[in-house]
Structure 1
Amino acid sequence: MKHWLFKTAICLTASSVVPLLAQTPAAQPPSAKPETYAQTVTADDLRKHLTILAADDMEGRETGTRGQKKAAEYIAGQFSALGLKAVVPGADGKTSYMQPFTLYKKTWGDFYVKSGGKQFTYLKDFLTNGLIALPQETNYETVFVNYGIVDDKFNDYVNLDVKGKAVVMLDGEPKNADGTSAVTNSAEPSRWGKPDSWRYRAQVAKDKGAAQVFIISAANADEFKRLLTERAALQQRFNRLSLKAGQENVGTVGTFMISTEMAAALLGKKAAQLTKAIEQIKSKGMSTVGKLAGTVAVKAERKDENVQTENVMGFVEGTDKKDEVVIVSSHYDHIGISPDGQINNGANDDGSGTVSVLELAQAFAKAKAEGNGPRRSMLFLTVVGEEKGLLGSEYYTDFSPVLPLANTVCDLNIDMVGRVDNLHENKSPKDNYIYVIGSDKLSSDLHRISENANSQYTQMELDYKYNDPKDPERIYYRSDHYNFAKHKIPIIFYFNGLHADYHRPTDDIEKMDFNLAEKTARLVFYTAWEVANREERLKVDSNKQ
């Protein structure tokens, strides 16, 4: 832990840092009213914490980066100053607030296509849809298959053996003279004429035994260059990370999006010749299936780059039921710096949840210091790698749970709170709602406690829109609570909805509604208080999707 950051944590404010005094465990519920401690969760303190965590010097908190580690130090410093216990065992026999682990970044080594005396490079000359792992340069014959369609009306593979070959095909579908689809004979395109048609073409080619699939993009030269630039930016922004080293479970058959110029090289033609042939196919319906052919060599090498990162957690020990634990969680990582240099501060996603966890840790620490500590233990868990695929929470649940999952009563997960979404913008009041997701999926007890806590204390609109198993956004599966739910641990996911600044540099603190964030955090507190102090452990009596 860096000394200067620890000082920052201690000096933040008297109201946001409360020393934890040693107490003798009690064997009965706290005598104090929960409002006493819920009131310590304030909009002002949430703002103060978020001003630090969502500042430019945190550099967007991308997993494995300097900014993420700086944020981890800040959170650990807060837990230490509050007097929370460090419970992560270390190799030196000491405990820590940090749970370090290694992620593996999947990167490309040599990835090229050679043909016609030219070498073409990934993201400079071509794209891939999906992954391919081909560590050794491999040679193939190429064959042209028009649009690569197999349908009731068209079959571009008739009398053509493509087994073990690289097929080259056009994107889109044949058209009638009036511009309508020749497949449907209407203005409505067939599945071969839609943006995701590459999936069908690739699958048909693979089913026919093709070894590689090259699709000639319908985009003109300038548009294709733009696509290459955009894909390169996306790859830099969303690097694939994994908890496991080694090759991914991907095949050796790739689906490549290429330009007409590159296709000409693959088919042993000049670009002008291929362009003319393509125009004849499109305007006159002439087939050149199997008549254009050449050779190609492909190498697609995948490598692992180690990325060191860490979850951060603090522990408040319970009294007579201390072996059982209630988890309050958030993710503190975000998506870092965009290729154009703009910082994605992630104030709402999920700085808002993380500062809520800090405030709730303070409230329970204060309760314990005053002899009103929870009967069950509390773990305040801030995880990393959520933006890379819920990796930090997966590491905790599936690889190294610091506290036994069998003793984990529930997880209350806070992600993206304190922003009003479009669905509530015109309501009055607009800032008195929260999406409650998953409360009833595993435990009727937890759902009832959540409803009662809100009815008695916060009186917010509990919106269950995203709790619907038919939710097209599949929000239930998109935050860290899910890694607990899959282990049959009851969860609630608190969420204020999506907005125009989601995953953009404009997700800044100025757009936060801290009164809404305060209400939400207090609802989480009241729910956690009841779960931690009730006589009976939550029943797991449901298994809803």
Structure 2
Amino acid sequence: MKHTTYYAGVLLAALSVGCAKTPTTSVKEPVVVTDAAQLQAAAPKYAATVTAADLSKHLHILASDEYEGRDTGQKGQKMAAEYISKEFREDGLTGPVQNSSNPYYQPVELETSKWGTGYITIGKQRFSMLQDFFVLGASPYLTEQTPEIVFAGYGIDNGTYSDYTSLDVKGKMVVVLGGEPKTADGKYLISGTDKASDWGNDFRTKRNAATKRGAKSVVIVTGANADEFKTMTQRYSSYATRPAIGLKNSATQENATVILASPAVGAALLNTTPQKMFAYAATVAKAGKPTPGTFTAAKDIKIKTERIATPLPSENVLGFIEGSDKKDEVVVVSAHYDHVGVDSTLQGDQIYNGANDDGSGTVAVLELAEAFAQAKKDGFGPRRSVLFLTVTGEEKGLLGSEYYSNNPVFPLANTVADVNIDMIGRMDFDYEKTNDSNYIYVIGSDKLSSELHAINEEANKKYVNLKLDYKYNDENDPNRFYYRSDHYNFAKHNIPIIFYFNGVHADYHKPSDSVDKILFDSAEKVARLAFYTTWELANRDNRIVVDSHKQ
């Protein structure tokens, strides 16, 4: 019996060794939850990972002097891109950019450019660029060309008033008067009141009308005389003499080029005098409706607006979390990570750290990305895919987001919404008066989707309890913030957006926009609201509808 016991022990030991080498159990992958109710119940757990402490940790790095103000295309911006991509990678997000040396980078083709030789000659008359006229944006006249001129009144084209009736302007230079027409009693024809419309206040409205009609350029006669023209274009004169940063000029022209011209230039193009040109206004006022011009445009016209360009490579930084059962649909969470760099002409502090603008939004995106990534590891990943998009060149004209919208990594048709965060964790001038940081301006949530607006309202009421201030959502607000951050490049493609913004303060675009002035508890609340809104967009059963078309 003793020997039997011995050999049985040896056999058991051998079997135990075999089992150790080949475990009978393995670590199971978490069950992927796709039930909307279960996912909603899990949201607070992951929202709680978005903390003031982590926001502070990231922002103390990105808005430090070492990053030199993160100016587009410069050393500090490159350092920030590297930091963001590293965080995405370490949190488990994938880089979705194909054919890129770094799959987290979407190369953005920017260039620095300045004006060279520029003129308009009309017969023996010669008018100089940056003195008699200004070109806004890209120009198709980089080499000398002979344009065909068409007069189109005030350049208005809407349902009730059109200066383009019976006009063929395709490929031509359209000359229009600035402002908008009035009736004989002094009221504006478009509004029927004493209040001007966008046709008189925003040159882009006339540009868009000319573009829709196929014009190559639109010359807007600016001011009633030479002195008024000089006054009205003073800011363009200042900008135009400096090198500018923009998207690389392509062979295709998206919009009609805008040229702001003095009355002398406008009249010469129409082969008339400024007095006779402006007399057209009285003709329209008397008629009370669009009136064809009687000018015979000049023929011997040449224009050249040379642009000297130098490449300025930059990059958007993307982190991606693939969804489960609705993975082909994508929710975008965005912020711009660039700022305005360094000004060596300043006394004292020369670095524009951009802690609030928009370091605060950038670190919020990093925190949301980490939260969603952890949720996916636990089996509570989003049903729809989520793209965390930090863009370059916002301060230069929303360039990074424009580049993405023109060259999307994921089809815009599959893009459900954009949640944009630009400047959180501060109080603006109004709220500083009462020392109230428990608010956020919400812009654009109802412009394209009533459901997006309702989702944000419900999330705030259920979880966060911030004051949602819609002051800047008013289409008549003169600040026009709806058009001034990266979400707009999604909205213009009919993609619903929501924009979180704390408003403007005394440190806006100054070296004093520093980390020590950020209220991280406030930033945490806004970031969590953005999280809950994104979570619902990504996990609800139905994609939000596009049912509103507000300005």
Q: TM-score range by the shorter chain?
A: 0.5 to 0.7
What is the match of residue 407 of structure 1? Answer: 414
What is the match of residue 299 of structure 2? Answer: none
What is the match of residue 423 of structure 1? Answer: 430
Q: CA shift at 1:412, angstroms?
A: 0.4
**Secondary structure, aligned partner of 1:100:** strand
Cα distance in 1 between the residues matched to 2:326 and 2:526:
27
1:312 aligns with 2:321: no
Q: CA shift at 1:58, angstroms?
A: 1.3
Cα distance in 2 between the residues matched to 1:444 and 1:251:
35
Q: Which runs of 5+ in 1 are unaligned?
A: 1-20, 114-120, 139-195, 197-206, 220-226, 257-297
Going from structure 1 to structure 2, the CA distance change for 1:363 and 1:129 (only over 3 Å counts) comes to same
What is the match of residue 77 of structure 1? Answer: 86
**Secondary structure, aligned partner of 1:34:** helix
**Secondary structure, aligned partner of 1:368:** helix
| Residue 338 of structure 1, aligned match among 327, 343, 354 | 343
Q: Is the 8 A contact 2:69 2:341 kept in 1?
A: yes
Going from structure 1 to structure 2, the CA distance change for 1:407 and 1:23 (only over 3 Å counts) comes to farther
CA offsets, 1:506-538, max 9 Å, x none? 111111111111110000111111111111111
What is the match of residue 301 of structure 1? Answer: 306
Aligned-partner residue type, residue 93 of structure 2: L
| Residue 56 of structure 2, aligned match among 33, 47, 63 | 47
Q: CA shift at 1:25, angstroms?
A: 3.9
CA offsets, 1:271-308, max 9 Å, x none? xxxxxxxxxxxxxxxxxxxxxxxxxxx98632122111
What is the match of residue 68 of structure 1? Answer: 77
What is the match of residue 284 of structure 1? Answer: none
What is the match of residue 274 of structure 2? Answer: none
What is the match of residue 179 of structure 1? Answer: none
| Residue 387 of structure 2, aligned match among 370, 379, 397 | 379
Aligned-partner residue type, residue 54 of structure 1: A
What is the match of residue 89 of structure 1? Answer: 98
Cα distance in 1 between the residues matched to 2:399 and 2:110:
8
Cα distance in 1 between the residues matched to 2:219 and 2:44:
68
Going from structure 1 to structure 2, the CA distance change for 1:422 and 1:239 (only over 3 Å counts) comes to same
Q: CA shift at 1:338, angstroms?
A: 2.0
What is the match of residue 511 of structure 1? Answer: 517
Aligned-partner residue type, residue 324 of structure 2: T
Going from structure 1 to structure 2, the CA distance change for 1:319 and 1:253 (only over 3 Å counts) comes to closer
Alignment of 1:208-219 (within 5 A): none
Aligned-partner residue type, residue 43 of structure 1: A
Cα distance in 2 between the residues matched to 1:535 and 1:523:
20
Q: CA shift at 1:426, angstroms?
A: 2.6
Q: CA shift at 1:128, angstroms?
A: 7.0
Cα distance in 2 between the residues matched to 1:361 and 1:325:
14
Q: Is the 8 A contact 1:440 1:446 kept in 2?
A: yes
Cα distance in 2 between the residues matched to 1:209 and 1:435:
35
| Residue 357 of structure 2, aligned match among 349, 360, 363 | 349
Going from structure 1 to structure 2, the CA distance change for 1:340 and 1:233 (only over 3 Å counts) comes to farther
CA offsets, 1:410-438, max 9 Å, x none? 1100001111011111336x010000111
Cα distance in 1 between the residues matched to 2:240 and 2:519:
30
Q: Is the 8 A contact 1:137 1:299 kept in 2?
A: yes
Alignment of 1:84-483 (within 5 A): 84-90=93-99, 96-109=103-116, 130=135, 236=242, 239-245=244-250, 301-340=306-345, 342-398=350-406, 400-427=407-434, 430-483=436-489
Cα distance in 2 between the residues matched to 1:303 and 1:485:
32
**More deviation, 300-309/431-440:** 300-309
Cα distance in 2 between the residues matched to 1:43 and 1:246:
47
Q: Is the 8 A contact 2:334 2:419 kept in 1?
A: yes
Going from structure 1 to structure 2, the CA distance change for 1:135 and 1:214 (only over 3 Å counts) comes to farther
CA offsets, 1:169-212, max 9 Å, x none? xxxxxxxxxxxxxxxxxxxxxxxxxxx9xxxxxxxxxx9999xx
Cα distance in 2 between the residues matched to 1:25 and 1:405:
27
Q: Is the 8 A contact 1:133 1:302 kept in 2?
A: no
**Secondary structure, aligned partner of 1:524:** helix
**Secondary structure, aligned partner of 1:452:** helix
**Secondary structure, aligned partner of 1:469:** coil
Q: Is the 8 A contact 2:343 2:351 kept in 1?
A: yes
| Residue 500 of structure 1, aligned match among 485, 498, 506 | 506
1:524 aligns with 2:530: yes
Cα distance in 1 between the residues matched to 2:140 and 2:66:
38
Cα distance in 1 between the residues matched to 2:100 and 2:428:
46
Q: Is the 8 A contact 1:453 1:526 kept in 2?
A: yes
1:28 aligns with 2:30: no
Q: Which runs of 5+ in 2 are unaligned?
A: 1-27, 121-127, 146-200, 202-217, 264-302
Cα distance in 1 between the residues matched to 2:113 and 2:245:
5
What is the match of residue 162 of structure 1? Answer: none
Q: Is the 8 A contact 1:245 1:304 kept in 2?
A: no
Provide TM-score, normalisation by structure 2.
0.64
Going from structure 1 to structure 2, the CA distance change for 1:25 and 1:90 (only over 3 Å counts) comes to farther
Q: CA shift at 1:33, angstroms?
A: 2.5
Q: CA shift at 1:232, angstroms?
A: 6.3
Q: CA shift at 1:136, angstroms?
A: 7.9
Cα distance in 2 between the residues matched to 1:396 and 1:136:
29
Q: CA shift at 1:242, angstroms?
A: 2.8
What number of residue pairs does the alignment pair up? 398
What is the match of residue 224 of structure 1? Answer: none
Provide TM-score, normalisation by structure 1.
0.65
Going from structure 1 to structure 2, the CA distance change for 1:36 and 1:59 (only over 3 Å counts) comes to same
CA offsets, 1:393-413, max 9 Å, x none? 111112x11111111111100
Cα distance in 1 between the residues matched to 2:219 and 2:87:
60
